[in-house]
Amino acid sequence: MKSKNIPVDIRQKSIKEAQKEINDIISNLENADMTLESSIDQYNRMLKLNEHIQNQFKKKTGEIKNLKIKKI
């Protein structure tokens, strides 16, 4: 999933905010009262949140590597 496929509201979240929303979605998915369509929508959002978190970690890793290179 490319980052341009990630909705703007997700791209603006911090890693902690995205993780919290994933935890909330998991709790909601465990609720037997959700419809199948709603569950699928929530699951897809969770995938996008996870992709956003991975992108942020990659970005931070690159920044750290650049700092180490500049110090050498």
DSSP string, the chain: --GGGS-HHHHTS-HHHHHHHHHHHHHHHT-TTS-HHHHHHHHHHHHHHHHHHHHHHHHHHHHHHHHHHHH-
> Is the model's pTM score more than 0.85?
no
In this structure, the number of other CB atoms found within 10 A of the CB of residue 47 comes to 13
Q: Please give the residue range of the domain that contains residue 19.
A: 3-71
55 burial via Cβ count (<10 Å: 0-12, 13-18, 19+): middle
- pLDDT per position as a tens digit, 14-68: 999 999 999 999 999 988 788 999 999 999 999 999 999 999 999 999 988 888 7
The string of pLDDT tens digits covering residues 54-67 is 999 999 999 888 88
Which amino acid does the sequence have at 18?
A
Structural domain total, the chain: 1
Q: Percent of the chain, pLDDT > 70?
A: 92
Tens of pLDDT, residues 2-12: 566 899 999 99
The answer on pLDDT for 72 being more than 50 is: yes
